[in-house]
Each structure stands twice: as structure tokens, then as C-alpha cells.
Amino acid sequence: MSRIVMLIDLDSFYASVEERRNHELKGKPIAICMFSGRSKNSGAIATANYPARKLGIHSGIPIKKAKELDKEGVVVFLPADRDYYKQVSDRIMQIYRKYADRFEQVSIDEAYIEVTKRCKGSFEKAIELAERIRKEVHESEGITCTVGIGYNKFVAKMASKLKKPDSVNVVDHEDFQKLIWPLPVKKLHGIGEKTEMMLKGFGIETIEDLAKFNLGKLKMALGTAKAEQFWNHANGIDDDELEDEDKKQMSKLKTLMKDSRDAAYIFEGAGEFAQILQKRLDERNIGFKSIAIIVVTTAFKTKTKSMTLSHVEKRVENVLPEYKKLLVEFLKENPDDTIRRFGLRVGNFEEFGEQRTLADFGK
């Protein structure tokens, strides 16, 4: 039975919500602005709907530049209303949860759901389910989404990227080489400009070139962790599981490329986990008072080692040394365990909200 994972990404999310909230906006080009408050037009575009994207307006560009691109003055510029978008997002995530064996929210408008059991390993059933979810989201919130379906998280993500907006796209085992291999290597999720240049230096132009490239050489250029990740992905391999999280704690785990007791090796992915957790904490505007490492041993036993902090911490990267200490102590205390999966957890949350100090507002 094949594993089946979906990545569901809402289309031009903030802009779609605004369009739905105010029917007069329907069909017009819309850009959502994150004003910095320094001067009238300072800040960046959070997102733009597809008609505005045709004019070259997209997330990340300065508001000033977006207004220059809007030569005919047809674009509607709106301030971002994140609290409202968050409420819509929370309701939509509840819809996904109903159908998921496992659920992992990645951002305000993106989530993975594992549906292997629910769809009994059938991609046809998964397509039906995806259409049902899309219908429910559209009926209840009036917005569209794109569902990528694959046999792991990476393939699902690629499937969604290939067919935005408003659609369902499947990449199954047979399709992978046909659909993914011909793409330029920069289309591989996670590859930025620098890595792309480096890969081009090796003559790697397509994802197929990367998949067939010598892994040893790649490791020397990119470091072991990155090289293995990109090379595996190029070959359609990804055994990352969905991290279900409840309201009280959240974690990020990954299977190591090889089982190990070497603390430095095991800890290599920790910086990336910290960034992922930080994004989730920031979205909920919460800090944490306890941290833990989670390990799954070669014998598939899950064990944790935790500690309570003396204060509410906002930034996961600040406590990376504490996580490392927990790992070193764990290895000392468990001399017979070899580690297969490793991850970080944060918990014991406190909301910021009104508790912000005056200093926070002065920034």
C-alpha cells in the first residue's frame, strides 16, 4: 500500500480573504500591504491576487515599487488584517483535520495531511477526498486552494507547486521521473540562488542531473545534511513524518540519514528545526518555558529528556546550547541506545498579546 500525503495551500490567501469579505473587490487586482509605519508607503507587499501578479506585483516587493508598477492606478492596496486571516485559517485547518490520519500545519495557509489509511493507499480515493475538501473550503469560506498529492511530503509539495492555483495535482510513483526530473534544479523545494549557482558549477541543470550526480562529491560541496536532503528529494525519497501537534507543545523531528551516537552529527539539523518551530510560535504569538529533545532509537523506542527554563523564552535559537546539553546527557545516561530519529520540542506556552512591555512597542 502506498503512503499518501497531501499538501494543501490556499490560493493568494490574504487577498482571497479580502475579496470574499468585500464583494465590490471581486475580479479587481488586489495587493495586501504590510506597512512598516515609517512613512506613508514604506513596507512590503504580503501577497497579491493573480490579476495583480500579472502586473508584476508579488509578495516581498516594496509597496512603493508595487505602486509604480500599477501605472493605470487600477490596483486596490489594502492593509493586512492578520487577526482576521488567522481566524479564517483556523476554521479551514479544522476542516482538514477531520479527514486526516495525521495533520501538520506549516504556515497560516499551508498544511500537510496524511491520508494513507483514510484512502487505503489509493490515489483515486485521494483525488476524490481532495475535491471534497476543496468544495468544503469553498462553500464555507469562499476561497480556493491547491492540493498536491504525493507518496511523501516532498512529492506532495512539488505536486502543489506545479499546478497553482485552484486545482488538484497528483504525482505518483510512476509520474515522478516523467514530471519532476525535467524541471530546472531551482524548482526543487528548498534550493535557493546560491545553491543553484553551485550546482550549475557541477553541470547540474535539471533535477534529473542532481538525482544522478555523485553523492560523495555533493557532500563535499554542500555539507552532508544538505547534500543528502537534496539528493534524496531529487530521487523522490523523503521519509519525514507529519508532526501532529497539540495546543500544549510542538515539536520537529527528522529521521537521521544514518543511525548514530555522535552528538555533533545528530545535532546537525537542530538549527533548521529551531527556525521551523520559531515560525509556528510567532504565528501564535507565544513563548515557551520548557524544552525537550525527542529521540527514537534504532529499536524504535521513543524517549525524551526535558528541562524547565527559568524564564519565558521567545526565541528557540537562544536555547540551542541547552538542547545540545540535553542530548549529550541523554547519550551518557543511555549508553546502549543508538539514535534513529531526533527532534526538538517546546512547551509550557505563555501568550504574549497584551503582556508586551512598553519596550516592545518602542521598536
Which parts of this chain interact with ligand DCP (CB under 6 A)?
9-14, 46-47, 59-60, 108-110, 164-165
Output 9 or 19, the one with its CB closest to ligand DCP.
Answer: 9
Output 46 or 326, the one with its CB closest to Mg ion.
Answer: 46
- Give yes or no for a contact between 177 and 187, defined as CB atoms under 8 angstroms apart: no
HSE-CB of 325 using CA atoms within 13 angstroms: 7
Sign of the alpha-carbon torsion through 255, 259, 263, 265 = negative
Is residue 205 among the annotated active site residues?
no
Output 110 or 337, the one with its CB closest to Mg ion.
Answer: 110
CB atoms within 10 A of CB 300: 8
CA distances in angstroms from 331 to 6, 252, 256, listed in the order given: 36, 20, 16
Residue written as grid cell 490579476:
51
Q: Could you say which of Mg ion, ligand DCP, none residue 47 binds, taking C-beta under 5 to 8 angstroms by partner kind? A: ligand DCP
To Mg ion, the closest distance from the beta carbon of 108 in angstroms equals 9
To Mg ion, the closest distance from the beta carbon of 190 in angstroms equals 17
To Mg ion, the closest distance from the beta carbon of 75 in angstroms equals 19
Angle value at C-alpha 98, between 97 and 100, nearest 5 degrees? 60
The SS3 assignment for 348 reads strand
- C-alpha cell, 314: 521567545
To ligand DCP, the closest distance from the beta carbon of 85 in angstroms equals 8
Q: Could you say which of Mg ion, ligand DCP, none residue 165 binds, taking C-beta under 5 to 8 angstroms by partner kind? A: ligand DCP
Q: Could you say which of ligand DCP, Mg ion, none residue 164 binds, taking C-beta under 5 to 8 angstroms by partner kind? A: ligand DCP
CA distances in angstroms from 306 to 271, 295, 326, 336, 347, listed in the order given: 18, 12, 7, 20, 10
How does DSSP assign 155-213, residue by residue? HHHHHHHHT-SS-EEE--TTHHHHHTTTSBGGGSTT--HHHHHHHHHTT--BHHHHHHS
Catalytic option among 18, 19, 104, 110: 110
Output 61 or 222, the one with its CB closest to ligand DCP.
Answer: 61
What is the binding site for Mg ion (CB under 5 A)?
9-10, 13, 109
Output 77 or 85, the one with its CB closest to Mg ion.
Answer: 85
CB atoms within 10 A of CB 312: 15
Q: Could you say which of Mg ion, ligand DCP, none residue 70 binds, taking C-beta under 5 to 8 angstroms by partner kind? A: none
To ligand DCP, the closest distance from the beta carbon of 187 in angstroms equals 14
Q: Could you say which of Mg ion, ligand DCP, none residue 184 binds, taking C-beta under 5 to 8 angstroms by partner kind? A: none
- Catalytic center residues: 110
